[in-house]
Chains A and B, each alone.
Chain A
Amino acid sequence: MKKYFKPAALLVLLVMICSVFSSCNALDEMRKSHAFWNNEDKTEILYNGEVYKKLSGSEDFLITDHIGYSNGYAYVTEKDVPLLLSDLLGTWIDIYHDGKLLQVGYQDSYYLESEYDEYLEKIKNTKFDKFRVFNSFSEKYELLSDEDSQIIIDIITQSEIVEITNYDFVYLGEIWRCDADMYFVSEKFELLKDPDGYYLGIGYTEYCYKVPEEMTERFEKIAKAYFIDWYYE
């Protein structure tokens, strides 16, 4: 037994020494998705060597890229949180716009500091005067024509708001108020249907606009053009 002790101890020592100089791919990957709060009031994030600044009032709108085009994810923690606890103690970040935009949680957005002012300017000058839909057939976002957009505006301005109490509603799809480039979106409307007709659900609330009978035909054209009608499938 004793004669094996020295070679065994030597082998252990050798492995230990080599271990100091070797790296681990899994840890490197984790390191890539570990971001840090850059200041105490959490208005800045340090990620991948770049500083990201919080978009003030970013909770008032959602950005197109937020929906379905995430470039990856990361976790943001305080600077002293060890790597292995980053996912446990950190807050989830979705990365958008080729790594320029970070969305933390569901509301707060942070933009790359070097392009922050330019981006902010773009937001300020944005006019949400168009509507876009996710076409269920082509599986792409499409801008509604001016004529179709006007129907939506007419419904919003002219029809009564009712509470969603009927569980026979069938969800057909979503319509978003957006800018002409479909880059920014603001309000979300859900297209609902029941035996009595069509409804436009308001965002994440329990209320909706009931599509008036005189507009139903025009509205149905939009519904049939963009959404698979699960109601009669």
Chain B
Amino acid sequence: MVKKLIKHEMLFYLRTLLPAELILLGMALLVRFVQFFESDAVIYDIVAISSIVTYVIAIIVCVVMMFITGLTRFYKNLYTAEGYLSFTLPVTHSGHIFSKLFSAVAVSLITALVIGVSLAIATAGEVFSEIVKAGNYLFKMLFDYTGVHGVLFIIEFIVLVIVSLSTGYLLYYTCITAGQMAKKNRVLAAFGIYFGYYFVCQTIGTFFMIMTAIFNEPIARLMENIGLFAETHPIATVHIFFISVIIFDAIIGGVYYFLTHLIMKKRLNLE
């Protein structure tokens, strides 16, 4: 059943985001088309810069739309009138959260891919071939320097992107879900919870900064030791960095998931 839910989620995203992504590809095509008339004329500069600005705006619109669609889909599908229908389906709360999260992350990755394709279109020809050459050279450098670790770095990076995206979405899911506990103005409450969370995070960050300033000496010594370790074991340091950030993000994401699930199951009268 979760598979079917994911399929419907993806169909929804396809209907909503496909036009925006087609426009983005069209803008990329326009940027490339304008470059055929490259000259020193002022009019060319105006047209070329305008086309590039429009293209960049199209990228921003695509990303913002993808993000907002991901969140409104979660909210509307579960917490508005649609939610009554959604929760009659034989799917657990975890299934609902997972299907929404999986499809949102997948769509984020697809959007990144579409942006990549649009860049390839906008730079098609000589520039694109130079970009590919530069990319190949950088990968060659990476593998020459790190050997098999290069592959592991790429895998770790991809995992980190997926985990960070999931954690990001789960934070907003938690805020939206917690906002539903309010009797009125639930969307506003969700915003309030998000800004409250942000405020707490900033306060904790400031507290740590103050602690760092107070305990300057041991922290400086610690940083020096870390720097020394990084100098002598650069490859291990990169692995440790990636893995620790992945674990940290996964733990935070797990907490958000647990909270969302808990509130959805215990605190909201949805069924």
Q: Which residues of A contact B (CB under 8 A)?
A: 11-12, 15-16, 18-20, 22-25, 27, 80-85
Taking a contact as CB atoms under 8 Å apart, the answer to whether B137 and A22 are in contact is no
Most chain-B Cβ atoms within 10 A of its Cβ — which of A12, A81, A82? A82
Question: Does B219 interact with chain A (Cβ within 8 Å)?
Answer: no
Taking a contact as CB atoms under 8 Å apart, the answer to whether A82 and B133 are in contact is yes
CB distance from B106 to the nearest CB of A (A): 22
Partner among B38, B124, B134 whose Cβ is within 8 Å of the Cβ of A19: B124
Chain A contacts for B127, CB-based, 8 A: 24, 27
Partner among A15, A23, A81 whose Cβ is within 8 Å of the Cβ of B137: A81
A-B contact pairs, 16 of them (CB 8 A): A12-B29, A15-B121, A15-B124, A16-B124, A19-B124, A19-B125, A22-B36, A22-B125, A24-B127, A80-B137, A81-B137, A83-B130, A83-B134, A84-B134, A85-B137, A85-B138
Taking a contact as CB atoms under 8 Å apart, the answer to whether A24 and B134 are in contact is no
Question: CA A11 – CA B30 in complex, angstroms?
Answer: 11
CB distance from A29 to the nearest CB of B (A): 12
Taking a contact as CB atoms under 8 Å apart, the answer to whether B29 and A84 are in contact is no
Chain B contacts for A22, CB-based, 8 A: 35-36, 38, 125-126
Partner among A15, A24, A80 whose Cβ is within 8 Å of the Cβ of B33: A15
Taking a contact as CB atoms under 8 Å apart, the answer to whether A11 and B126 are in contact is no
Instruction: Tell me what chain A mostly uses at the interface: helix, strand, loop, or mixed.
Output: helix
Q: Report how many A-B pairs have Cβ atoms within 8 Å.
A: 48
Chain B contacts for A81, CB-based, 8 A: 137
Taking a contact as CB atoms under 8 Å apart, the answer to whether A24 and B126 are in contact is yes
CB distance from A82 to the nearest CB of B (A): 4
Residues of B237-267 whose CB lies within 8 A of A: none
Contact status of A18 and B131, CB under 8 A, knowing A12-B121, A23-B126, A81-B137: no
Taking a contact as CB atoms under 8 Å apart, the answer to whether B130 and A15 are in contact is no
Which 9 interchain pairs have the tightest Cβ spacing? A19-B125, A82-B133, A19-B124, A84-B134, A82-B134, A84-B130, A82-B137, A85-B134, A24-B126
Further pairs besides A18-B36, A19-B32, A85-B138: 19, Cβ < 8 Å: A11-B29, A12-B29, A15-B32, A15-B121, A15-B124, A16-B124, A19-B125, A19-B128, A20-B125, A22-B38, A24-B35, A24-B38, A25-B38, A27-B126, A81-B137, A82-B133, A82-B136, A83-B133, A85-B134
Instruction: Tell me what chain B mostly uses at the interface: helix, strand, loop, or mixed.
Output: helix
Chain A contacts for B134, CB-based, 8 A: 82-85
CB distance from A34 to the nearest CB of B (A): 11
Interface size on B, residues (CB 8 A): 19
Question: CA A160 – CA B29 in complex, angstroms?
Answer: 73
Chain B contacts for A85, CB-based, 8 A: 134, 137-138
Question: CA A24 – CA B127 in complex, angstroms?
Answer: 7
CB distance from B133 to the nearest CB of A (A): 4
Question: CA A127 – CA B36 in complex, angstroms?
Answer: 57
Question: CA A20 – CA B136 in complex, angstroms?
Answer: 20
CB distance from B2 to the nearest CB of A (A): 29
Question: CA A81 – CA B133 in complex, angstroms?
Answer: 9
Question: CA A29 – CA B130 in complex, angstroms?
Answer: 14
Question: CA A83 – CA B133 in complex, angstroms?
Answer: 9
CB distance from B23 to the nearest CB of A (A): 12
Chain A contacts for B33, CB-based, 8 A: 15
CB distance from A41 to the nearest CB of B (A): 21
Instruction: Give the residue name and chain of the B residue nearest to A23 (CB).
Output: B126
Instruction: Give the residue name and chain of the B residue nearest to A14 (CB).
Output: B33
- The interface bits of chain B over 97-141 (1 if a CB of A lies within 8 angstroms of the residue's CB, else 0) are 000000000000000000000000100111110110110111000
Chain A contacts for B35, CB-based, 8 A: 22, 24
Question: CA A22 – CA B35 in complex, angstroms?
Answer: 9
Question: CA A22 – CA B134 in complex, angstroms?
Answer: 20
Question: CA A85 – CA B133 in complex, angstroms?
Answer: 9
Question: CA A12 – CA B124 in complex, angstroms?
Answer: 10
Chain A contacts for B138, CB-based, 8 A: 85
Question: CA A25 – CA B35 in complex, angstroms?
Answer: 10
Question: CA A154 – CA B270 in complex, angstroms?
Answer: 98
Taking a contact as CB atoms under 8 Å apart, the answer to whether A84 and B38 are in contact is no
Residues of B13-69 whose CB lies within 8 A of A: 29, 32-33, 35-36, 38
Question: CA A82 – CA B29 in complex, angstroms?
Answer: 25
CB distance from B263 to the nearest CB of A (A): 41
CB distance from B209 to the nearest CB of A (A): 33
Taking a contact as CB atoms under 8 Å apart, the answer to whether A82 and B130 are in contact is yes
Chain B contacts for A83, CB-based, 8 A: 130, 133-134
Question: CA A81 – CA B138 in complex, angstroms?
Answer: 10
Chain A contacts for B131, CB-based, 8 A: 84
